[in-house]
Structure 1
Amino acid sequence: MRALLVVNPKATTTSERARDVLVRALRSEFDLTVQHTRRRGHATTLAREAAAAGVEVLVTLGGDGTINEAVNGLMEGSSPETRPALAVVPGGSTNVFARALGLPKDWAEGTSMILEALHKGRVRTIGLGKADDRYFTFCAGLGLDASVVRRVEQARLRGRTSKPSLYLRSAVNQYFLAMDRRHPAISLERPAEPVEGELSTVIIQNTAPWTYLGDRAIDPNPDASFDLGLDVLALRRLRVPSTARTVTQLLSGRLDPHGPQVLRLHDMSEFTLLASRPQAFQLDGDYLGEREKVRFTSVPAALRVIC
């Protein structure tokens, strides 16, 4: 069986020695080729070329950004009948997608689980989300959460380590100092339904959880699933009392977010977000610039995953 291993050499939780161990383990099961990413977007190119060449399994070693790029390459470069299966070895700081699939955080344990799944023929078919022309595996965001991702990425470029404390400090800073909390700019349109207007920030989930703070799952829409459409959590006005209440509900892990400033939608097949001024935009935890319009669609049964 032919396989390609796409390695992000900047993966934060593996060393060169660990990668060598991984390659040897995979070569015991696959006719394996190894490629290292050299720039942002390179994993998309490698995955597209692998699909066109008839590779049967694509393995990624990296974080959620590497996985997102690889998935987009697979979706662009093949039909459902010929599309390689995806296997993900956790190598990033958070690894939301891998953990949502039930894989352990540790890369060695994850590799062992993937090899076991291969032996037993354990393959799962999952749905994806799509934002305009780009696919995503677990989440997207327009507004506050995306601006936090932007600030964290800027801090990492300055040498900061991606830790829960960095995300929390970035969220507080963006909320109090960078957001226009008095004038919600986003509206949500869906077929045959009234427009939901005056939204300040919108989170979209393709599965649960939305993200992790360390080992704690943060789950605005716990019913979100790879087997269903997209789920939405939107906050209307970001007033301090209502926002603090929603954050408390999220961090408690026991209460689904609710209240007059909260909009939740479940199992959505399509909708469009429109903004009266440019808003920060992220997919799978990668900041992608600012947008004023994004069309979201659910893509069911899109990808086979070895897990």
Structure 2
Amino acid sequence: MRALLVVNPKATTTSERTRDVLAHALASDLKLDVATTTHRGHAAELARDAVSDNIDLVIALGGDGTVNEVANGVLAEGPSPDLPAVAVVPGGSTNVFARALGMPNDPVEATGVLLDALRTRRDREIGLGMAGDRWFLFCAGLGFDADVVGRVEEHRAKGRKSTHGLYVRSALHRFYRSGGTRRSGPLTLDVPGQEPVEGLCLGIVQNTNPWTFLGNRPVNACPDASFDRGLDLFGLTRMSTLPTLRHLSRMLGSSGNAPHGRHVVSLHDCATFTLGAEEAVSLQVDGDHLGEHRSVTFRGVPRALRVIV
């Protein structure tokens, strides 16, 4: 089997030595080429080239951003049974997608699982989401959570390391910058065949669960979301300190119950919907800030990608 290992050299939790060991282990079972990314979007370019070169498997060694780029490169012309499969060796700070697939968070252990899956021909077809023309693996967001991602990226551009603490501090800064209370947000939710819902402060879109991790604790805004169904949405039409803390407590809880209340807006297993605003607001997909947009249509695409698990 011909495979391409796409390596992000800036991956948070893997050293150069670890990457060399993992590449050597993979090369024992695969006809392996290794490519190292040098700029944003490079992983997508390498994955597109892999499709043209009839590569059988593209392996992403990095964080969720690297995996997202690989998926977008593989699916640049849309889903097809002839496309390469995708595999993940986690190397980022959070690794939501790999963990949602049931992969170990340790890159060495994950490589062992991947090699076993290849030897036993174990794979899975999963549904993905689209935000406009961008594929996403596990989540997207418009509004508050995307603002937080944008602020974290600003810190990283200045040399700060991506940590869970940085995300928490950025969320608190964003929340209290607006005075700690938002009685109405800028977003309007449009679902085909339904009345629009106005005033959302945020819209979290999930293609699977969890939405993210806080350390080793899964954070579930939409606990029923699944790779095997359409998209789920969690939205809030009001954000104030105590209710928001209660919602966060439910997201971090082990009961599996979704946050609820009169200011909660939710969708489950939805094929398509649109979030729009009069003024442009931040968009993120899989933890990658994509600038500001006035309207984004989200769509679930079943069985879009074959993954080795």
TM-score tier by shorter-chain length is over 0.9
- Alignment-mate amino acid for residue 66 of structure 2: T
Correspondence for 1:157: 157
Instruction: Please show how residues 281-292 of structure 1 align to structure 2 within 5 Å.
Output: 281-292=283-294
1:1-307 to 2 correspondences below 5 Å: 1-77=1-77, 80-178=80-178, 181-254=182-255, 255-307=257-309
CA separation in 2, counterparts of 1:280 and 1:150?
A: 8
In structure 2, give the amino acid aligned to 1:249: R
Q: CA deviation at 1:155?
A: 1.5
- Contact 2:183–2:237 (CA under 8 A) maintained in structure 1: no
1:14 partner SS: coil
Q: 1: CA distance between counterparts of 2:240 and 2:2?
A: 54
- Contact conserved, 1:48 with 1:78, CA < 8 A, in 2? no
Give the gaps of 5 or more residues in structure 1.
none
Letter in 1 for 2:247: T
Deviation by residue 1:169-210 (Cα, 9 ceiling, x = unmatched)? 111100110588244110111111111111110000000000
Q: Percent identity?
A: 51
Shift of the alpha carbon at 1:78?
Answer: 6.5
- Aligned partners of 2:123 and 2:308 also within 8 Å: yes
Q: How many residues align?
A: 307
Aligned partners of 1:104 and 1:267: how far apart in 2? Answer: 27
Relative to structure 2, which stretch is displaced further, 69-78 or 226-235? Answer: 69-78
Q: Give unpaired runs (5+ residues) of structure 2.
A: none
Question: Which whole-Å CA distance do the structure 2 matches of 1:192 and 1:251 have between them?
Answer: 33
Separation of aligned partners in 2, 1:145 and 1:240: 16
Moved more, 194-203 or 77-86: 77-86
Give the letter for the 1:11 counterpart: A
Measure, in 1, the Cα distance between the counterparts of 2:113 and 2:184.
48
Q: Which amino acid counterpart does residue 270 of structure 1 have in structure 2?
A: T
CA contact (8 A) 1:276 1:292 kept: yes
* Cα RMSD, aligned residues only: 1.3
TM-score computed with the length of structure 1 as normaliser = 0.97
